[in-house]
């Protein structure tokens, strides 16, 4: 039987995503009612600038007092799309205390305070859903914590930031330098005026922490994620990648150790073979590659940001949470029973592409090879070019630990015949 009393929704934030959530709630009201089993009503919208015209939103619903809104007591679901740590954290906690479930798109908050927020939701018997926090419209959180709940996930690797993928794709396809590609991304609206969170990997690192926590049933915080930005990637790096049949992507990689006793989470640029599915992800799109014992290899692909795609994920969570409210149940909460340790980056094992500037004279290659051997790093291929007393030496290794590679590079820098280390890049996806 359809319930006639509406479920009341409070919206915190009415920017690009929030305004689209409000629009869809209005234009798709009948469909949402049919899918949920009860009407949903936008009961209040908390904003910082109340005088701004918001098309389709009743001005009487707009308030600057977000705290009072979530404390009302008649609110069933709070949708938080304001971002940042505070006041979002306090507002979500207050919402739980006053009987509301929460749908959030706040990856930074969840990566930093996810355990505490889940504990608060559990204490008050409420839901915390956050599909929109990772990879925009792509259904990813729910498949990981529900559809694959009976499987053992070993690796999650993906492109989870559209801005960086647009920049790197532009560098790859046109030969543009980093700054030129960034300028185009900014002009097209893909990059913020201050792109630091994207290009330095902070945004992707927060998403990696969330993905690793869900995939491995282990609490992984933002501080546990190794992060390396992409601002040092050059056109020369792309040229080298093409010679290897690769391209370059900024990847978030979460993986379980081979012995199953620990996990790692990291974000950094990497070369990947053109044959890998992630290599074909173009423009501002996102894609995540999941490897598990039973299901094997799965790939999730789609738009990773923007008002409409992110709002789609928010509305999907809203429908699920509202259904739970009607049935008197809650959905899956935090699963951290495995409590696996998070290993440091030094323990990560992968292949490496190292470009060295060296003196063009006999014996250099032998010296370099000796240093690699002394640190237990096996060389796969070497390519050398040079003239007029200077040369470049490109070394591709077999799999080695990050700690071993770091020691190798430090020793190489001490050789008189090595003028400098032009670039170091990991090779993934093989």
Q: How many CB atoms lie within 10 A of CB 83?
A: 16
Question: Is 155 within 8 Å of 127 (Cβ atoms)?
Answer: no
Q: Which of 249, 310, 308, 307 is nearest to 282 (CA)?
A: 249
End-to-end Cα distance, the chain: 54
What DSSP character marks residue 148? T
* From 152, 207, 242, 414, the catalytic residue: 207
Tokens of 379: 């060389």
Q: From the centroid of its chain, how far is CA 406?
A: 26
Contacts for 156 with CB less than 8 Å, ≥ 6 apart: 144, 211, 212, 215, 252, 253, 254, 255, 288, 289, 290, 291
Peptide bond into 208 cis (omega under 30): no
In the residue annotation, 170 being an active-site residue is answered as no
Element (H, E) at 16: helix 16-27
What DSSP character marks residue 335? -
Tokens of 411: 């020793």
Q: How many CB atoms lie within 10 A of CB 116?
A: 13
Question: Is 264 within 8 Å of 255 (Cβ atoms)?
Answer: yes
Q: From the centroid of its chain, how far is CA 278?
A: 14
Element (H, E) at 35: helix 29-36
Question: Is 112 within 8 Å of 134 (Cβ atoms)?
Answer: no
- Which parts of 164-311 are beta strand (E)? 226-227, 246-256, 263-273, 285-292, 296-303
Distance CA 144, CA 151 (A): 9
Distance CA 317, CA 157 (A): 24
- Residues with catalytic function: 207
């Amino acid at each position: 039987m359809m319930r006639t009393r509406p479920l009341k929704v409070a919206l915190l934030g009415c920017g690009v995503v929030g305004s689209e959530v409000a629009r869809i709630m209005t234009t798709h009201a009948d469909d949402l009612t049919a899918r949920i089993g009860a009407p949903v009503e936008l009961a209040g919208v908390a904003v910082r600038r109340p005088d701004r015209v918001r098309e389709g939103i009743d001005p009487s619903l707009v308030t600057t007092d977000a705290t009072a809104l979530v404390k009302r007591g008649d609110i069933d679901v709070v949708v938080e799309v304001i971002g940042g740590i505070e006041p979002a954290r306090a507002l979500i906690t207050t919402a739980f205390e006053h009987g509301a479930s929460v749908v959030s798109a706040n990856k930074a908050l969840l990566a930093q305070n996810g355990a505490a927020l889940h504990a608060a939701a559990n204490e008050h018997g409420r839901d915390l859903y956050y599909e929109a926090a990772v990879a925009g419209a792509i259904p990813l959180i729910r498949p990981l914590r529900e559809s694959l709940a009976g499987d053992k996930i070993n690796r999650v690797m993906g492109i989870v930031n559209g801005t960086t993928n647009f920049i790197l794709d532009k560098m790859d396809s046109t030969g543009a330098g980093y700054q030129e590609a960034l300028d185009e991304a900014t002009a097209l609206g893909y990059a913020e005026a201050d792109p630091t969170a994207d290009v330095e990997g902070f945004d992707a690192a927060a998403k990696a922490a969330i993905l690793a926590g869900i995939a491995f049933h282990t609490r992984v915080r933002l501080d546990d994620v190794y992060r390396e930005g992409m601002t040092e990637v050059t056109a020369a790096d792309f040229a080298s990648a093409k010679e290897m049949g690769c391209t370059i992507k900024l990847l978030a990689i979460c993986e379980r150790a081979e012995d199953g006793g620990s996990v790692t989470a990291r974000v950094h640029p990497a070369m990947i073979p053109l044959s890998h599915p992630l290599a074909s992800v173009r423009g501002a799109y996102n894609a995540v590659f999941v490897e598990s014992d039973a299901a094997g290899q799965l790939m999730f692909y789609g738009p990773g940001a923007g008002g409409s795609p992110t709002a789609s994920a928010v509305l999907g969570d809203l429908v699920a949470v509202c259904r739970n409210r009607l049935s008197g149940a809650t959905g899956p909460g935090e699963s951290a029973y495995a409590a696996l340790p998070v290993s440091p980056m030094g323990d990560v094992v992968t292949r490496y592409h190292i470009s060295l500037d060296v003196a063009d004279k006999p014996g250099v290659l032998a010296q370099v090879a000796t240093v690699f051997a002394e640190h237990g790093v096996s060389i796969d291929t070497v390519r050398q070019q040079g003239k007029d007393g200077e040369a470049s030496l490109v070394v591709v290794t077999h799999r080695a630990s990050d700690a071993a590679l770091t020691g190798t590079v430090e020793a190489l820098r001490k050789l008189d015949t090595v003028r400098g280390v032009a670039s170091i890049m990991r090779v993934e996806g093989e």
